[in-house]
Amino acid sequence: MTAETNSLFEAVVSQINAACERLNVKDAYRLRLGKCERELTTNFPVKMDDGTVKIFTGFRVQHSDSRGPAKGGIRYHPDVTLDETKALAARMTLKTAVANIPYGGAKGAVICNPELMSQNELERLTRRYATEISILIGPESDIPAPDVGTNPQIMAWIMDTYSMAKGYSIPAVVTGKPLEIGGSKGRFEATGRGCTVIAKLAAKQKHMSLEGATVAVQGFGNVGSAAAKWLAREGCRVIAVTDVKGSVYNSKGLDIEALLNYRNGAGGGFVIGFKGGEAMGNGNAKLANAELLALPCDILVPAALENQITAANAAQVKAKIVVEGANGPTTPEASKILYDNGVYVIPDILANIGGVIVSYFEWVQNIESFFWEEEEINDKQRRIMTNAFTEVLEISKAEKTDMRTAACMLAVKRVVAAMSTRGIYP
């Protein structure tokens, strides 16, 4: 929920409606896109390590399968809601259409705090959740992947649980798996690496070079850390990074490899306490995040959660380019403020499509049982993302609009074309 809209899902629908309006889309399609096709809520028991039983609530939502099987990650977070899951599912429909890969959009979630659970508890929760949603998921119907709070090990448990029920191994039921069981080379860092591809294309439009560009990254999980790593490799100076517990700032540029080692080791998953820089916000994580979003820098990469840039703080954003690694980090009202202030925002449905693109490659490799080299994967990913960027840019120029509206128009056009070609059954 935000002060500006009642629901995250409605915020996405308002974007879709605005695109429909510009494209003169018939009401029948607009109404279909304004709803999710299927919404499953499940309340299920899990045995905890201390012998007690807890009831967890999970969701699996399919927004659209007009362009192919539904596709989307699974989030484990204490505050996740059905509304948020619906919004993320709808964004997946738009993303797969922008990327022009043959998928629809879905998302799943479990209300839980994985940081407070043991590995055994997480495994039992995952296996039960996978069983509950097995009436929807499958390699030809709906293919999950990791998102906030989930990782390749959790995908492995889902793959194993689904396979055991069928009696044989079905790697293509889920992507973002470990390499040992059919994961794809290049998948783990694909979203963050893709943000770098997009940052480079965006910088070119602003007559900037990535070499020496200053970067601030919010969130140092899968997306944020890989974006920081690949941007640093392109010559950027990553000056600030925050996560849910803390922050680290160094005007000369952080040593990202050292920060990654710290997070994976002594930091216990977080950046707080890293010696290669100083904490922001007087050591208060909330203040540090607010400070990071307002930091003078060339490129800002929000890569944590939704609704970080709002009407309340958008005017303070000083970055020239915002690359939305996270889904929905900017509210609709904030988006307008950034546009009016000349900030070049590359929206989530274009900036973070790298993950679902390489997930698509993983699924194709699983179906073919034939695996590709990392170079080939990175090259194919770069090509798809460059095409998508170019197509969105052309629409934004022709329509004299921002990249968010242009990306949404491209996506809606493709989904509507699929719906109209298929017709309505029966």
Question: How far, rounded to the nearest angstrom, does the alpha carbon of residue 39 sit from its chain's CA centroid?
Answer: 20
Q: How far is the CB of 155 from ligand NAD (least distance, A)?
A: 11
Q: Are 289 and 295 in contact (CB under 8 A)?
A: no
304 binds ligand NAD (CB under 6 A): yes
**Is the backbone of residue 354 left (phi > 0), alpha (psi -120 to 50) or beta?**
alpha
How many chain residues touch ligand NAD (CB under 6 A)?
Answer: 24
244 binds ligand NAD (CB under 6 A): yes
182 binds ligand NAD (CB under 6 A): no
CA nearest to 21, candidates 408, 424, 426 = 408
327 binds ligand NAD (CB under 6 A): yes
Q: By CB under 6 A, which span of 33-41, 207-215, 219-227, 230-238 interacts with ligand NAD?
A: 219-227
Site string for ligand NAD, 130-159 (x = CB under 6 A): ----------------xxxx----------
Which stretches does DSSP call E strand in 48-90?
53-64, 70-71, 74-77
Q: Which two tokens stand for residue 357?
A: 């693109």
CB nearer to ligand NAD: give 303 or 415: 303
Q: How far is the CB of 77 from ligand NAD (least distance, A)?
A: 8
First to last CA, the chain: 37
Q: Which of 71, 86, 95, 107 is catalytic?
A: 107
Burial 302-326 (b: 16+ CB within 10 A, else e): bbbbbbbbbbeebeebebbbbbbbb
246 binds ligand NAD (CB under 6 A): no
Judged by CB under 6 A, the residue of 59, 220, 230, 262 near ligand NAD is 220
Q: How far is the CB of 300 from ligand NAD (least distance, A)?
A: 13
CB nearer to ligand NAD: give 208 or 224: 224
Instruction: Collapse the DSSP code of 40 into the 3-class scheme (helix H, G, I; strand E, B; otherwise coil) and give the result.
Output: strand
107 catalytic, yes or no? yes
242 binds ligand NAD (CB under 6 A): yes
The one-letter amino acid at 276: G
Output phi, psi for 77, to 5 deg.
Answer: -155, 140
Q: Which two tokens stand for residue 353?
A: 């499509």
405 binds ligand NAD (CB under 6 A): no
Report d(CA 197, CA 354) in Å as an integer: 9
222 binds ligand NAD (CB under 6 A): yes
CB nearer to ligand NAD: give 58 or 325: 325
Q: Which residues are catalytic?
A: 107
Binding residues (CB under 6 A) for ligand NAD: these are 146-149, 191, 218-224, 242-244, 289, 303-305, 325-327, 352, 355
